[in-house]
Amino acid sequence: YLDTDIEITIREELDVGRDGFLDGYATTFPEVFGGDRGFISDSNPQRESLSFYGQTTYPFNESFRLITGLRYTDDEVKSTVSNFFSPTPSFINPKTSDLTGRIALEWDFATSAMAYASYTRGLKPGGSNLTFSEGDDALVREAFEDETINAYEIGYKADLFSSLVRTNVAAFYYDYTNLQFQASDFNEFGSGVSNIPKSEIYGLEFEMTALLGDHFSLDVKLGLTESEVSADYLALDNRLLIESVFLADGVTPAKEEIHGATRDVAGFLQNLNGNELAKTPGLTADVTLAYEDQLSSGAYIVASLQYTHRGDFEQRVFNNPEVDDVDAYNLLNANVSYDSPDESWGADLMVYNITDQDGVNSSMTDVFGVNETGFQFIPPRMVMGRVRFAF
């Protein structure tokens, strides 16, 4: 059971006239554009969510079993929103009642090996937007829809070579309906969450842990992923909107000019069918070689060397090469730990990003009219030491 109550009040004052005075606010047109007003919005979203879940396991025999799970979800949002410059608050009340669940077959075809196949249906409830647009041509509305997923997976797990090697292999296919994403509207200050009708993600995952003698172990994780929007869907890339409408023709971005100009840009709508989904790298890898030993004194030494690869991806579903392409990077990390014989103290030496690799971990382009893209960079080479005491 979840019960939340949030109050949001946003007031932005801008000394547009540069006269040293803030002229206050107005909530009616056209007065709203005449003074030192920036972004204004109020919201009081209340969410109440209730779920029941149960799971059963039915063994057909000692090696073959059926696992089922069922969840009932009842979700309701009540939100009173004073949309951007709106004098009359809107009451938004999206509701959801749905059944989701899982069914899986597991087969132990050997003493230390099993295969499985599963189907899972999941739900991410919809909700209300803090800002939105109105009218028949609105791309972002006051409420957004539930997101649902049909997930299919087959896999294999085994302990090999007298349990010296453990492997997990899986193939998956995720079919999304109404995928929630950050969307832009013709009114660039009325942006928020909207839904992509159909999209999919599929791929392979591989994991292996191997004991290499008495002291060494190797851990390997690999992931291959493909994603795309799988049906026609028209959306607005606000990067194209702002640059082409407001800057190319030298339009001064005053509030009245922005509000008027944005209604005349239907040609900027982009069909997302076939585009890669946001923040879904095609290749990820993690390989760690670890060493453990107990010295003659009784002290313990643990050391590891880790290689990580994060493949390139698109930071937004628009796949705009100017801002959305995020390059791959490779990291090399090392760690050495020492623990005294009586475990009363210890020391650690950690080196992150040994090769001082440059890279972007993630980025985000604002959809609320600011049109800025921010980058989160991976940290540079870092050397850290730590001493531990137990008492």
Tokens at 160, concatenated: 């090999």
Query: Do 336 and 199 fall into the same domain?
Result: no
pLDDT grade, residue 244 (50/70/90)?
very low
Q: How far apart are CA 352 and CA 51, in angstroms?
A: 42
Query: Do both 295 and 269 map to the same domain?
Result: no
**Lookup: tokens for 110:** 């050997």
Say what the pLDDT of residue 254 is: 34
Report pLDDT for 138: 86
> Where is average pLDDT lowest: 115-119, 222-226, 267-271?
267-271
Q: Identify the pLDDT of residue 368.
A: 73
Instruction: Report the alpha-carbon distance of residue 150 to residue 102 in Å, rounded.
Output: 10
Q: Is residue 282 part of a domain?
A: no
Instruction: Quote the domain boundaries for residue 319.
Output: 287-391
Q: What is the pLDDT confidence band of residue 93, given thresholds at 50, 70 and 90?
A: very high
Indicate whether 247 pLDDT > 70. no
Of 211, 244, 277, which residue sits at a domain end?
Answer: 277
Strand partners, 309: 285, 330
* CB-CB contact of 290 with 213 (8 Å): no
Query: Is the domain of 225 the same as that of 78?
Result: yes
Q: Write down the pLDDT at residue 42.
A: 81
Number of folded domains in the chain? Answer: 2
Q: Which of 256, 277, 298 is the last residue of a domain?
A: 277
Query: Distance from CA of residue 146 to its chain's centroid?
Result: 16
Greatest mean pLDDT among 39-43, 103-107, 267-271 lies in 103-107
Say if residue 7 is in the same domain as residue 150. yes
For 320-373, what is each residue's pLDDT tens digit?
Answer: 998 999 999 999 999 999 999 999 999 999 999 999 999 999 998 888 766 788
* Cα–Cα dist 108/28, whole Å: 69
Contact 112, 145 (CB under 8 A): no
Q: Which of 181, 45, 81 is nearest to 124 (CA)?
A: 181
**Residue 302 reports pLDDT greater than 60:** yes
Q: How confident is the model at residue 251 (pLDDT cuts 50, 70, 90)?
A: very low
Give 155-182 as a DSSP string: EEEEEETTTTEEEEEEEEEEEEEEEEEE
Q: Do 199 and 342 belong together in one domain?
A: no
* pLDDT band for position 170 (cuts 50, 70, 90): very high
Q: Residue 110 domain-assigned?
A: yes
Other beta carbons within 10 angstroms of residue 365's beta carbon come to 21
Q: For residue 200, what are the β-bridge partners? A: 175, 228
188-224 tens-digit pLDDT: 677 899 999 999 999 999 999 999 999 999 999 999 9
> Is there a domain that residue 359 lies in?
yes
Banded model confidence at residue 166, pLDDT cuts 50, 70, 90:
very high
Backbone angles phi, psi at 303, to 5 degrees: -135, 150
Collapsed DSSP state (helix, strand, coil) of residue 68:
strand
Q: Do residues 37 and 28 make contact, with C-beta atoms less than 8 angstroms apart? A: no
Supply the pLDDT for residue 172.
99
Average pLDDT, integer, range 63-75 = 97
* Residues 365 and 257 reside in one and the same domain: no
Count CB atoms within 10 A of the CB of residue 148: 16
**What is the per-residue pLDDT for 260?**
45
Q: What is the pLDDT of residue 252?
A: 36
246 and 308 fall within a common domain: no
Q: Taking 70 as the threshold, does the pLDDT of residue 43 lie above it?
A: yes
Instruction: Calculate mean pLDDT across residues 24-32.
Output: 58
Residue 141's CATH number: 2.40.170.20
Measured at the CA of 124, the angle between CA 122 and CA 126, to 5 degrees, comes to: 145
What are the residues facing 338 on neighbouring strands? 301, 347
Confirm whether 254 is domain-assigned.
yes
The residue from 218, 250, 277 where one domain ends is 277
Based on the domain organization, do 231 and 378 belong to the same domain? no
Mean pLDDT across the chain: 88
Q: Is a pLDDT exceeding 60 seen at residue 32?
A: no
Q: How confident is the model at residue 255, as a pLDDT?
A: 36
Range 269-298 average pLDDT: 96
- Predicted confidence (pLDDT) at residue 108 exceeds the cutoff of 80: yes
Whether residue 124 sits in one domain with residue 21? yes
Question: Do β-strands 360-365 and 147-160 pair in parallel, antiparallel, or remain unpaired?
Answer: unpaired
Mean pLDDT of 269-279: 95
Q: In this structure, is residue 20 part of a structural domain?
A: yes
Residue with tokens 């922005």: 258
First to last CA, the chain: 41
Q: Rounded to whole angstroms, what are the CA distances from 118 to 53, 145, 151, 173, 184?
A: 18, 26, 8, 11, 36
Which residue intervals of the chain are DSSP H helices? 238-241, 255-261
